[in-house]
Amino acid sequence: MSDETTRTPGTYGQEEIARNKLEPWPNPHPTRDYVVHFEIPEFTCLCPRSGYPDFATIVIDYVPGPSVVELRSLKLYINGFRNRAISHEGATNEILDDLVKLLEPRWMRVVGEFNVRGNIKTTIFAEETQPTYQGPRPAYTRPTFSGI
């Protein structure tokens, strides 16, 4: 029997997330300073105090060093936060730390634009720069993705 016939219905995605590891790919232009921009509008995690879901758009901007992130592995990594009890600050900084460790970017910024909850909107900015880096660091602009 194949995995498809023995798998519990509705668990394929959960299994993929559990097996996933962030994956670096070689930077196709390692001598050029260029900015990679991601908007991840469906980020979710759980409030560590109440257990209620928190929703956010995560914005990642970076200037690659030797590696870029493979997008499927990034998607599954982000989806791994869905059932985790973690603060806004914790999630944003953990994403930055994990990506910096994996990719060794020249510069990276991760912003967590969390939806309003309890009448408060939270935005977390976390940034890391290599000491000798002098290249582009675009100004932050709010997420532009609004769905289709």
What are the residue numbers of the active site? 47, 54
CA angle 126, 101, 93 (to 5 degrees): 25
Q: Cα–Cα distances in Å, from 3 out to 18, 19, 42, 76?
A: 16, 14, 28, 19
CA distance 33 to 40: 23
Helix (H, G, I), strand (E, B) or coil at 90: helix
Phi, then psi, of 44 in degrees rounded to 5: -140, 150
CA angle 98, 102, 106 (to 5 degrees): 100
Residue 50: exposure state from Cβ atoms within 10 A (0-12, 13-18, ≥19):
exposed
